[in-house]
Chains A and B, each alone.
Chain A
Amino acid sequence: MIEFIEIIFTAGFWAATIRIACPLILATIGEVLCERAGVLNLGIEGIMSIGAMVGWMTVFLGADLYTGILAALIIGGLFGLLHAIFTVYLGASQHVTGIGITMLASSLGFFCFKLILPASTTPPKIKPFQPIDIPFLSELPFLGPAFFQHTPFTYLAILVVIFAFWLMNSTPLGLSIKMAGENPMALEAQGIDVFLVRTIAVVLGSALMAVGGAYLTLSAFDAFYFGMINGRGWIAIALVIFASWKPERALLGALLFAGLDAYQVRAQQLAGAVIPYQFFLMLPFLLSIVAMVIAAKRTRYPKALLIPFRRGERH
């Protein structure tokens, strides 16, 4: 039994937690941005998928890894813009638009992948981001291998999260985004364009989701597989609700979730073949549902979430 507790005291467990958390954190913060502005973005799963594909393909075709991230960022932003045109400017159903965006982004990604690589049975590989040692800190016992020997993409993701916090909490734009999701009429009365604010939030948020997808192909793994997002986008949406739409809680939620995931992989190895592997793979999805039920009582949705803003109409 003691082995199951010892897992938590290995540096490998903490390093894996960070690795699993990174794409989730990026996607969750992206979704928080969208929803705080009043726009549910169910395009997340597809946007992560095409971000993973475009980031990987850019590098595969000869560009460097940072250009790969940039390419994912741009494609994510473009799909965000499409989502915003539909849901913000035209007031179409946010649910159906999101599902449509997920279908379009993932199928377009697969189509382009097959177009460029028609006959690849085993997915080709790229040289992904390599771990770098942070001077001095990486030599610390336990803490070094756990937190200071990650890839540059990991540290970049942390910087992005800090940027998102700063944007949301300390800038006029952040305040406008929050107001667009709570009381758009009041924002309009201030002479601020609600449509524009919501669009900026959705474009930025979607770009983050795509970068989260690219983390999988450029840092965590080295190839693109169909279906590699495997519900991470939907889990991110559950985490947003669990976090009550607060970015800092979303960060904690994603870390907690990743920790449980890293733990189950190790526990699975210890448990051997006693419990079929499928049940371990179900855990993240079941945990997400449980997290939503736990959060349900104190859930306070952004007031204008799902409500299209129409100029000259009162709600």
Chain B
Amino acid sequence: MIKFRLEERAKSPYWLIILSPFIAILVAIILAGILIVLAGANPFESYYQLIIGAFGSKNSFAETLARATPIILTGLAASIAFRAKFWNIGAEGQLYFGALATTLFGTGLVVLPSILMIPFLFIMGALAGGLLLLPLVLLKLYYKVDEVVTTLLLNFVVVLLVSYLLEGPWKDPMSLGWPQGKSVVDEGVLPQILSKTRLHLGFIISIFFAFSVWFILSKTVIGYRIKSVGLNAAAASHAGVPIFKTVLIVALLSGGMAGMAGVTETAGLKGYLTLDLSPGFGYAGIAVAMLANLNPIGVIFSGVFLASIYVGADAMSRAMNVPTYLADVIVALTVLCILLSLVFVNYKILFFRVKKE
């Protein structure tokens, strides 16, 4: 009988670390190709259509970057949290909370000149996202209540709250029966950065935050503490790292990033809050973070990659008659392939023979 065991590598070769996400993506695309064949389409032509749909024209390229904006922010939310092994799976709810804050403050309650209004909305969105996570992180720290489940459950509560507000007190009377919020005032709207497209300032802002998070994580004491809590909380505690404070900061930063994704969607792309504001951007953030190996700069690239899959799949679906859900399948396969590649990067697999007695 042949058995195997995993032996941790002392040092992983660089080429393996760099190559592994690309191999993972390739494997995911090949596996999804089988589904395209099952759907009766030519996989090569389908992927060609997908690439054209995502990058083929100025408009589609701009659309991909616009779609990447919230995904980069939720990807940063997951990266920060997962580094400390704080499993915030509630980015979806935090995004909607950020969108609620944008609607509360941005539709007439406060009007400032643009240069102040836009930062103000981002601050409010970040606070709202962090605020939603605050009771859950306190429950974890004081009572050891598992944050995975509470953050997941709260996503549903927040979406129902948005549904209530949009059908009731916050419904825009001018919206002809559609449940949507009032429009964000002109001063708060994120300006277009490429004429005649939907690409807005939010994209630049999300890249700015990717670099900020990179700086915090790799150049500051708090970043060092976050990493050490993730690697071994008990050892970190022994070494004098304040666990309570560090986890609290992680939660606020993570929730804040996701909250700002709600701002870019409400004040940037749509201009008002709707119930379908996020088709799962919060969950996509987890895939983005994993693909980037929790590296904030990598999140920019993996975010654009994931956005291109979503945008391109719409075009491919129309041209090739393959269901758009293929995009979600590719994303899910990518997550699993990345996990697989991480095993190969970090471990050697040793096979050995066991003699039967």
Residues of A within 8 A of B339 (CB): 86, 92-93, 96-97, 100
Convert B138-164 into 0s and 1s, putting 1 for each residue whose CB lies closer than 8 angstroms to a CB of A.
Answer: 010001111011101110110011011
Q: Which residues of B contact A (CB under 8 A)?
A: 3, 5-6, 35, 38-39, 82, 87, 89, 139, 143-146, 148-150, 152-154, 156-157, 160-161, 163-164, 167-168, 283, 286-287, 290, 321, 323, 325-326, 328-329, 331-333, 335-336, 339-340, 342-343, 347
Which of A92, A114, A238 contacts B342 (CB under 8 A)?
Answer: A92
Q: Give min CB distance, B154 to chain A, whole Å.
A: 7
Distance from B331 Cβ to chain A, minimum over Cβ atoms (Å): 7
Binds B, one of A18-26, A178-186, A264-272, A290-298: A290-298
A96→B85 CA distance, assembly (Å): 11
Report the minimal beta-carbon distance from B156 to chain A, rounded to whole angstroms. Answer: 5
Whether B149 pairs with A238 at a CB distance below 8 angstroms is yes
Quote the shortest CB–CB distance from A93 to chain B (angstroms): 7
Instruction: Name B317's closest neighbour in chain A (CB-CB).
Output: A114
**B139, B153, B163 interface centre (most CB from chain A within 10 Å):** B153
Who on chain B is nearest to A313 by CB? B5
Across the interface, which residues of A come within 8 angstroms of B287, CB to CB? 103
Please state if B156 and A231 are interface contacts (CB–CB under 8 Å).
yes
Q: Tell whether, in the assembled complex, residue A241 and residue B149 are in contact, meaning their CB atoms are under 8 Å apart.
A: yes
Q: How many A-B residue pairs have CB under 8 A?
A: 129
Q: How far is the CB of B168 from chain A (nearest CB, A)?
A: 6
Return the CB mask of A218-253 against B: 1 if under 8 Å, else 0: 000000000000110011011001000000000000
Judging by beta carbons under 8 Å apart, are B335 and A99 in contact? Answer: yes
Known: A92-B339, A289-B153. A107 touches B6 (CB 8 A): no
Bound-complex Cα distance A42 to B340 (A): 17
Contact A97 B336 (CB under 8 A): yes
Contact present for B6 and A91 (CB under 8 Å) = yes
User: Once the chains bind, are B323 and A111 in contact (CB under 8 Å)?
Assistant: yes
Interface residue ranges, A against B (CB under 8 Å): 42, 82, 86, 90-93, 95-97, 99-101, 103-104, 106-108, 110-111, 114-115, 118, 230-231, 234-235, 237-238, 241, 276, 278-279, 281-282, 285-286, 288-289, 292-293, 296-297, 299, 310-312
Are B340 and A90 touching (Cβ within 8 A)? yes
Neighbour of B139 across the interface among A100, A114, A293, CB < 8 A: A293
Of B3, B157, B340, the residue contacting A285 (CB under 8 A) is: B157
Could you tell me the distance between the alpha carbons of A100 and B328 in the complex, rounded to whole angstroms?
11
A235 CB contacts on chain B under 8 angstroms: 153
Q: Does A288 contact B332, Cβ atoms closer than 8 Å?
A: no
Is B329's CB under 8 angstroms from A107's CB?
yes
Q: Complex Cα distance A137/B353, Å?
A: 60
Would A110 and B343 count as touching, CB distance under 8 A? no
In the complex, how many angstroms separate the beta carbon of B286 from the nearest chain A beta carbon? Answer: 6
- Jot down 15 A-B pairs with beta carbons below 8 A, ordered by A: A92-B339, A92-B340, A93-B339, A97-B336, A103-B331, A110-B328, A115-B38, A234-B149, A235-B153, A241-B149, A282-B160, A288-B153, A289-B145, A292-B146, A292-B149
Residues of B within 8 A of A42 (CB): 148
Closest partner residue, chain A, to B290 (CB atom): A96
Name A's interface SS: helix
- A231 near B342 (CB under 8 angstroms)? no
Residue numbers in B under 8 Å from A82 (CB-CB) = 336
- Chain A residues with Cβ below 8 Å from B152 are 231, 234
Chain B nearest CB, measured from A202 CB (Å):
15
B154 touches A96 (CB 8 A): no
Q: Which residues of the partner chain B approach A278 to less than 8 Å between Cβ atoms?
A: 160-161, 163-164, 167
Inside 8 A of A238's CB, which chain B residues have their CB?
Answer: 149, 153
Query: Contacts A96-B335, A103-B328 known; A292 to B145 CB distance under 8 Å?
Result: yes
* Residue in A closest to B143 when the chains form the complex, CB atoms: A296
Closest to A276 in B: B164
- Docked Cα-Cα span, A90 to B157, in Å, equals 35
Q: Say yes or no: A115 contacts B39, CB within 8 Å.
A: yes
A296 engages B145 (CB within 8 Å): yes
A276 contact set on B, CB distance < 8 A = 164, 167-168
Nearest-CB residue, chain A, relative to B329: A107
State whether A293 and B145 are in contact (beta carbons under 8 Å apart), knowing that A93-B339, A96-B286, A115-B323 are contacts in the complex. yes
Cβ-defined contact, B6 with A237, below 8 A? no
**Is the Cβ of A99 less than 8 Å from the Cβ of B325?**
no
CA distance A97 to B333 in the complex (A): 11
Contact of B332 among A104, A286, A292 (CB under 8 A): A104
Taking a contact as CB atoms closer than 8 A, the residue among A86, A96, A231 that contacts B153 in the complex is A231
Task: Give, as a whole number of angstroms, the nearest-CB distance from B96 to chain A.
Answer: 13
Residues of A close to B323: CB separation below 8 A: 110-111, 114-115, 118
Q: When the two chains form their complex, are residues B343 and A285 in contact, meaning their CB atoms are under 8 A apart?
A: no
Q: Which residues of A contact B326 (CB under 8 A)?
A: 111
B161 touches A282 (CB 8 A): yes
Contacting residues, chain A, for B82 (C-beta < 8 A): 96
Given A111-B326, A234-B149, 14 extra CB contacts under 8 A:
A92-B339, A96-B82, A96-B290, A101-B336, A103-B283, A103-B287, A104-B329, A111-B329, A235-B153, A237-B148, A278-B160, A278-B161, A292-B150, A296-B144
Q: Given the interface contacts A97-B336, A99-B335, A114-B323, does A279 sit within 8 Å of B164 by beta carbon? A: yes
A133 to B167, CA, bound (A): 43
**Which residues from A are CB-within-8-Å of B35?**
111
Interface centre among A95, A100, A279 (most CB of B within 10 A): A100
Question: Bound state CA distance, A107 and B91, in angstroms?
Answer: 19
Distance in angstroms between the alpha carbons of A115 and B38 in the assembled complex: 9
Minimum distance in angstroms from B140 CB to a CB of chain A: 9
> Is A234 a contact partner of B153 (Cβ separation < 8 A)?
yes
Name B142's closest neighbour in chain A (CB-CB): A296
Among A91, A101, A235, A292, find the residue whose CB has the most chain B CB atoms closer than 10 A: A292
Q: Which residues in A have their C-beta under 8 angstroms from that of B160?
A: 278-279, 281-282
